[in-house]
Amino acid sequence: MSGRDGRPQIVLGVCGGIAAYKACEVLRRFTETGHDVRVVPTEGALKFVGEVTWAALSGHPIATDMWTDAHEVPHVALGRAADLVVVAPATADFLARAAIGRSDDLLTATLLTARCPVVLAPAMHTEMWEHPATVGNVETLRRRGVVVLDPAVGRLTGADSGIGRLADPEEIFATARSVLTRGAAAPLDLTGRHLLVTAGGTREPLDPVRFLGNRSSGRQGYALARAALARGAEVTLVSANVALADPAGAKLVRVGTAEELRSAVLEAAPSADAIVMAAAVADFRPASRAGSKLKKTDVDPEPISLVRNVDILAEISANRLRNGQVIVGFAAETDDVIANGTRKLAAKGCDFIVINEVGENRTFGAAENSATIVGTDGTTTVVPEGSKEDLGHAIWDLVAERLG
């Protein structure tokens, strides 16, 4: 569904928390990308950000209650017209009222009448997020098909820090857009699934300032994480040397070396329904690491002696720690791409291999990607050039089907 001018219709709900000001950035992202946004602030939200601000940024008058223009039945009109409802921040009180189906203000009433996808981005103090009541409310909403993004870890109100911080507005927008792109008819087919994704490129130190590394930016792994979150999954993202905003709702584990990545994967793997190894992991590392910076001298340097890293993909494929676990590997190839990638599928023992042609100005760091996905069942799926998120959804389509 879209508005009279063809633009997607977004309802942006804003609850009464200190993070309400960050919703202005979410709103700006939507309006600058051609979406028509109607802001529905709660009474509490208006104590943090005024009605004039929302009207100016959205280009629409702000509906604040169900009694103004009652003849137009605003909660029904907003809910029916919406292609997507996003609530950021969503407070503990709002999650409770949404979970039991209350309709005591315009935002909760709109939620009951909407038949479109719903994305909630909670923000609250750690104790409130971890309280059994909130945990139960989130589980209820997720069972109903609502995408509830876990909050970030960081500075909260006052001097407190912990989980409960509103996720990065850019990432809330990115996940919401992914949900919108899939549409109301697309099932949240990964709800209740724990997915493990690796991203980025490992670095193997030579000395305190130099390392052996690769050109991976982590964009594909992060796109996979966002796509999985948009489909309702719980995501653990093991990130190696990536300079990107944290995907909203993912549990992020930062690592540097191949051995650190291996440890993080082995720790998370037992609870993972599927693992996608999108990180570029070093095959070798220096046999020794200098304790201080290696100096240039008039003497030719000694050759760098290398030792082989453990093949993590082959290891987890051979020793699956969960029944029915689906494992996906990546093959970055520069020549004889399909043949080399297919041989890697057989050698690693995983269920699918995503074969990329890579080079100095191809795939690594780019916004788009293309791939051929080969499965052990003999299937071949060609994914044409498109966004890395499109490739991510293509991978999750195959994983979801295999998981059943």
- Domains plus CATH for the chain? 9-182 (3.40.50.1950), 194-403 (3.40.50.10300)
Query: What is residue 301's predicted lDDT score, i.e. its pLDDT?
Result: 76
The catalytically annotated residue of 214, 241, 319, 323 is 214
Q: Give the start-end residues of each E strand in 178-291.
A: 194-200, 204-205, 211-212, 234-240, 251-255, 274-277, 284-286
Residue 196 pLDDT > 80, yes or no? yes
pLDDT at 3 over 70: no
Residues in the chain: 404
Average pLDDT, the chain: 91
Give the CA-trace dihedral at 310, 200, 161, 233, to 10 degrees.
Answer: -90
pLDDT the model gives residue 1: 41
Is 163 or 66 the better-scoring residue by pLDDT? 163
- Active-site residue 356, yes or no? no
**Average of pLDDT values for 77-97?**
95
Half-sphere exposure (Cβ direction) of 67: Cα atoms closer than 13 Å: 1
Q: What are the helix (H) ranges across 71-196?
A: 74-81, 92-100, 106-113, 126-130, 132-143, 169-182
The amino acid sitting at 5 is: D
pLDDT at position 47 over 90: yes
> Per-residue pLDDT tens for 351-403?
999 998 876 555 566 778 889 999 999 999 999 989 999 999 999 999 999 99
**CB neighbour list of residue 247: distance below 8 Å, 6 or more residues apart:** 171, 174, 175, 222, 225, 226, 229, 235, 237
d(CA 392, CA 404): 18
| The token pair that represents 269 in the structure block | 């793997």
DSSP H or E stretch at residue 11: strand 9-14
pLDDT band at 334 (very low <50, low <70, confident <90, very high): confident
Mean pLDDT for the stretch of residues 25-48: 96
Residue 171: is its pLDDT beyond 90?
yes
Q: pLDDT value at position 172? A: 96
Q: Which pLDDT tens digit goes with each residue over 128-147?
A: 999 999 999 999 999 999 99
Q: With 90 as the cut, is the pLDDT of residue 46 above it? A: yes
Query: Is the pLDDT at 304 greater than 90, yes or no?
Result: no
For the cut 70, the answer to whether the pLDDT of residue 76 exceeds it is yes
For residue 230, pLDDT over 60 is answered with: yes
